[in-house]
Amino acid sequence: MKKGKFIVIEGCEGAGKSKQSKILTDALNAHGIDAVATREPGGAPLAEELRRIILSPEYAPSALAELYLYSAARRDHLDSVVFPALDAGKVVVCDRFMYSTLAYQGYARGLDLDFVRRVNAYTVAPLKVDLALFLDIPPEDGFTRKGGADKGDRLERESLAFFNKVYEGFTDMCTRGELVRIDARGEKEETAEKIYRAVAEVL
């Protein structure tokens, strides 16, 4: 039986997810709430190894192979890090989760959305996400903020058209109520404040 809380932070490249996950975790800990930050793909030894393989420009997996690689990394991360932390009553703040799979492998790569949703459901069961946030900044602004794409990362070599589809996917999930939209175009402190307020409501 899960005792902790599982919070997800999603967004396009350069939206500030990693920075905001850290700010949120530090703020929760400062308020005496035991919180840990983690990320996907990765967050556990095998999952981090899979991350290296998935993002390496050395390989060119099909969309379906990519879906299963992300899913394998996810299940390993859940089994070895997330479930034990939730059992111990911690708040787990996860930088990206299954909504990225739907946005990237579904909306952007074109795999059937219902199929991706089903794979996601099997991959994460019996986990229930307590809150999933989408840090909203348009893809062009994200790359500008990052100072350009990391060309050593296979996914970041994709076109702007690809990232616009990813963005559309995330905004669609907001409309469907699967993600809660946070306007992330402002200063980092302002966004952090909005995130903290949304998270406090589910704790």
The residues binding ligand TMP (CB under 6 A) are 40-41, 70, 96, 100-101, 104-105, 155
Which C-beta is closer to ligand TMP: that of 155 or that of 198?
155
Residue 154 C-beta: closest distance to ligand TMP, Å: 8
Dist CA 173 CA 179 (whole Å): 6
User: Residue with structure tokens 């579904």?
Assistant: 106
Q: At 202, which amino acid appears?
A: V
Q: Give the residue nearest to ligand TMP (CB).
A: 104
* Distance (Å) of CA 171 to CA 161, 176, 181, 188: 15, 9, 8, 21
Smallest gap from residue 70 Cβ to ligand TMP (A): 4
Which of 6, 5, 39 has its CA nearest to residue 22?
39
Q: Where are the alpha helices (DSSP H) in the chain?
A: 17-30, 45-55, 63-77, 83-87, 98-101, 113-124, 139-146, 160-175, 188-200
Nearer to ligand TMP, 1 or 49 (CB): 49
Q: Which two tokens stand for residue 10?
A: 């999603």
Report, in Å, the least distance between residue 30 CB and ligand TMP: 25
Q: Which is nearer to ligand TMP, 70 or 174 (CB)?
A: 70
**Nearest distance from residue 172's CB to ligand TMP, in Å?**
16
Among candidate residues 176, 199, 44, the one with its CA nearest the CA of residue 117: 176
Residue 33 vs 117, nearer CB to ligand TMP = 117
Q: Minimal distance in Å, beta carbon 149 to ligand TMP?
A: 10
Nearer of residues 157 and 197 to ligand TMP, judged by Cβ = 157
